[in-house]
Structure 1
Amino acid sequence: MKEIDQALLKRVIVERPRSSFKGDYGRLLLIGGTYPYGGAIIMAALAAVHSGAGLVTVATDRENVPALHSQLPEAMALDVTDQELLAEQIAKAGLILLGPGLKDNDLGTHLVQLVFNRVQPHQVLILDGGAISLYTRLALPLPQAQLVFTPHQKEWEAMSGLAIGDQGEEATRRSLSQLPPASILVQKGPQTKIWQQGQADFYQLTVGGPYQATGGMGDTLAGMIAGFAGQFPQVGLYERVVVASHLHSAIAEDLSKKSYVVLPTAISRKIPKWMKKISQ
């Protein structure tokens, strides 16, 4: 097991060059929040923007757009059923987060298939929530892209065939070998582990706790991972995912000192201050 230490945090979260602009910090497309799960994609977008993502576009139900903009005017938004505009945004994005609040129905199936057919090898594709469930149920072939999976224990059970009680290190390592080379797995649970296919070692979080057991926590984590993955090119994608995962739980642990339950949106509000402190 690899250690997540201050040196790793500082290698990833660095001060921004004065000559940079928003295009240097990621062009993200977030797809999800289909009825009745509109809050999920809003929380993911909040986390992505607060993590420093340069340009964030959200494809969701049209009825969800006013709620999104009331919370986050910094994000662009489009009707997820506008196929022409959605295809255009898929082509433009450097990173696609697919799945927070994505319902398992005909529309969800179409969206997963559309992204899988159009994503390119140079793009990062993060599969979360509903996208993992749909990909697993439909047994779809994975596209050629830089893949990140963020399953909770039941989703990993469906992906790997491993019952929750059997999801130990060796069994997970064997299952991970079936994924495309360099795929990243954020194996969420009481002791979240972050793996990369082809590497024997993994990172395990030593922060976090039951105060995080509330709806939207995984959506916020997915948004943070997307925000980090779209920037910090001085390190590899794996290190960016690891640090985002750690920071998500570290902020929650700090907030839990004064709160019985930590809300996901409270974590998002604290991200910029923590990143500033680490970068200095």
Structure 2
Amino acid sequence: MTEIKQSILTKVIAKRKSNTHKGNYGRILLIGGSENYGGAIIMAAEGALKSGAGLVSVACHSINLNALHARDPEVMYVDWRSSDLPQLIKNMDVIVCGPGLGATPFAQKLLLQLGQVVTNQQTLILDASALDLIGQNRSLAPQNAKLVILTPHQMEWQRLSQIRIPYQTDAANLTALNKLFPGQNAILVLKSNHTKVYTSNKDVFVNPLGNPGMACGGMGDTLAGIIGGFTAQFGGNIDSVIAAVYLHSLAGDLIAKDEYVVQPTKISALLPKLMLKFVD
């Protein structure tokens, strides 16, 4: 097991060159946000936006449009029932699916559609409801992405892997990850008080940061968005993932010095200034 060090931020976060444009920093689509859980997809999108993704789009229920654009006008919107969605998915570098998605038959249809069109050139991040749906029906697990990143908390991982929380050992988690996505490049970000990151190559990383003030709704949605932003900009690889995990907790720890509760939206707000400190 390897402890994630702060030096990963300097290694991953690159200084932006003058002759670049928004397309150079990744196209990311986030799918989720049902009638009752629009906040989840908005917080995930804000994590992607504030961590530097070049172009951020959200496919969600139309009821969330006004809130999304009032909060983050930089984010593009598509109705998740649009016939244009499959083509939009194909045009992305990174897809995040799950925050606020829900467990309806339509949510299942969206996940199935995603699995049918995602390509071996894309990074796919599965979070929250998407993981629960796959836990109920393994055939919904997309198999064609270049890199699959799972971001469950321990109870979601229990439902997906069938490993009860007390028995979620490193060996058991690695076995389950490779069973879920056999022969694929896969990463498991298992969220807890000290999040662990597992790769299909059997590497294990542990995040030393984090605090109980971060035990707040939307924290995981925000992390999924930040991981999306980092993989869109800096590449779909383990360094980008563990850097995103570390930065998320580092921001949370800084906020916790002055505040009892760490709001996920405050983590996102802090990212642009915090990232600048680690540009080599």
Letter in 2 for 1:111: L
Letter in 2 for 1:182: N
Other-structure match for 2:80: 80
Other-structure match for 2:217: 215
Q: RMSD across aligned C-alpha pairs, in angstroms?
A: 1.1
SS in 2 for 1:184: strand
Other-structure match for 1:65: 65
Offset at residue 172 of structure 1 (A):
1.4
| Over 6 Å off, 4+ runs | none
Other-structure match for 1:251: 251
Offset at residue 3 of structure 1 (A):
2.9
Other-structure match for 1:102: 101
SS in 1 for 2:160: helix
Tell me the distance in 2 between the aligned counterparts of 1:218 and 1:50: 15
Tell me the distance in 2 between the aligned counterparts of 1:227 and 1:8: 16
Identify unmatched segments of 5+ residues in structure 2: none
Offset at residue 190 of structure 1 (A):
1.6
Tell me the distance in 2 between the aligned counterparts of 1:206 and 1:44: 23
Q: Percent identity?
A: 42
Other-structure match for 2:92: 93
The 5 A counterparts of 1:33-48 are 33-48=33-48
Other-structure match for 2:261: 261
Other-structure match for 1:29: 29
SS in 2 for 1:59: strand
SS in 2 for 1:102: coil
Other-structure match for 1:196: 199
Tell me the distance in 2 between the aligned counterparts of 1:211 and 1:133: 26
Letter in 2 for 1:100: P
1:3 and 2:3 matched:
yes
Letter in 1 for 2:132: S
Tell me the distance in 1 between the aligned counterparts of 2:263 and 2:225: 15
Offset at residue 6 of structure 1 (A):
3.3
Tell me the distance in 2 between the aligned counterparts of 1:76 and 1:61: 13
Offset at residue 111 of structure 1 (A):
0.5
Tell me the distance in 1 between the aligned counterparts of 2:178 and 2:111: 23
Give the TM-score normalised by the residue count of structure 2: 0.96
Give the TM-score normalised by the residue count of structure 1: 0.96
Other-structure match for 1:275: 275
Tell me the distance in 2 between the aligned counterparts of 1:5 and 1:19: 31
SS in 2 for 1:34: coil
- Residue number among 181, 186, 203 corresponding to 1:183 in the alignment: 186
